[in-house]
Amino acid sequence: MAMSQEQLTVERPTGLESWRDAPPVLFSAEKVSRRVRTLAREIAAARSDRPLTLAVVLRGAFVFAADLIRALIEIGVRDLTVEFLSVASYRGMASDRTRPDVHYVNGIFPGEGRDVLVVEDIIDRGHTLEAIERALSSHCERLRVCALLDRPHLREVPIGPHHVGFTLDTDDFVVGYGLDLDGRYRELPYLGRLPAPPRA
Ligand code: IMP
Ligand code: MG
């Protein structure tokens, strides 16, 4: 089927002419910002009386987490602490991509008596989130998950976030706003998409 000229035109971000090969826009910076502020209200409405720890999953969630924290503070959420995790799926013969390792950046995870909200960039097959839940669930009162992006159609384990920024129904690889492809594009202020999914 022939595509119209309009369909062939790819929206490019404005003000980013100096970015070479800037990926097309999936969600603009303004749209992301509005959604993050709405998410903050949803999270505040669903929280308990217990103090809250945000467990930020490095590195892809760092921009999202920074904006989310400021949005939470702006609407009056207090009793908030921030911790960092990193998740590594090693490649090679000894690796098991379905059981990535979770590392606490501060050595131990101080979640006793607190609610923990995992802040993740994107949930795909679900193995990363499953490993995080396995690692944290016995170290806090209540574990919940907030993901900027969710791609439920690629899920391999029955798991899902409680709060979602945007649900995707395509296989496009998403970059920008903290998300990278081999270390590139994290600095883009919007969420862009790359057509070829370079997944393992
Ligand atoms: P999974 O849910 O275990 O398949 O893996 C999710 C992780 O893969 C995320 O935390 C990201 O680090 C990475 N990832 C998956 N899809 C994308 C994408 O479209 N862009 C950037 N990173 C991605
Ligand atoms: Mg990630």
Query: Residue 16: which pLDDT band, with cuts at 50, 70 and 90?
Result: low
Q: Average per-residue pLDDT in the chain?
A: 88
Ligand 2 mean position, distance from CA 193 (Å): 16
Residue pair 147/122 in contact by the 8 Å Cβ criterion: yes
Give yes or no: 182 in active site.
no
Q: Is the pLDDT of residue 83 over 90?
A: yes
pLDDT: which is higher, 105 or 36 = 36
Dihedral over Cα of 187, 9, 154, 97: its sign: negative
Residue pair 101/130 in contact by the 8 Å Cβ criterion: no
Ligand 1 mean position, distance from CA 36 (Å): 19
Q: Is the pLDDT of residue 174 over 80?
A: yes
Main-chain dihedrals φ then ψ at residue 77, nearest 5 degrees: -70, 130
C-alpha angle 151-154-159 in degrees, rounded to nearest 5 = 75
Q: Is the CB of 39 under 6 A from ligand 1?
A: no
- Identify the helix (H) or strand (E) that includes residue 83: strand 80-88
pLDDT per residue as tens digits for the range 99-111: 899 998 887 788 8
C-alpha 176/C-alpha 135 separation (Å) is: 28
Ligand 2 mean position, distance from CA 136 (Å): 16
As a whole number, mean pLDDT of residues 130-156 equals 96
Atom of ligand 1 nearest to the CA of 89: 3
C-alpha 165/C-alpha 82 separation (Å) is: 20
CB within 8 Å of 157: residues ≥ 6 apart: 125, 126, 127, 130
Ligand 2 mean position, distance from CA 11 (Å): 26
Beta strand 191-194 pairing with 173-175: antiparallel
- Of 166, 168, 185, whose CA–CA distance to 176 is shortest? 185
C-alpha angle 185-98-54 in degrees, rounded to nearest 5 = 60
Q: Whose CA is nearest to atom 23 of ligand 1?
A: 122
Q: Is the CB of 179 under 6 A from ligand 1?
A: yes
Query: Residue 7: which pLDDT band, with cuts at 50, 70 and 90?
Result: very low
Residue pair 129/162 in contact by the 8 Å Cβ criterion: no
Predicted pLDDT at 13: 59
Atom of ligand 1 nearest to the CA of 121: 10
C-alpha 169/C-alpha 8 separation (Å) is: 20
Query: Residue 19: which pLDDT band, with cuts at 50, 70 and 90?
Result: low
Q: Is the CB of 186 under 6 A from ligand 1?
A: no
Q: Is the CB of 125 under 6 A from ligand 1?
A: yes
Main-chain dihedrals φ then ψ at residue 9, nearest 5 degrees: -80, 125
**Nearest ligand, measured from the Cα of 195:** 1
As a whole number, mean pLDDT of residues 66-75 equals 98
Predicted pLDDT at 20: 62
Q: Whose CA is nearest to atom 11 of ligand 1?
A: 122
- Of 126, 147, 153, 144, whose CA–CA distance to 191 is shortest? 147
Check: pTM over 0.85? Answer yes or no: yes
The two tokens of residue 52 are 């809250």
pLDDT: which is higher, 7 or 11 = 11
Percent share of the chain, pLDDT over 90: 74
Q: Is the CB of 128 under 6 A from ligand 1?
A: yes
C-alpha 112/C-alpha 90 separation (Å) is: 30
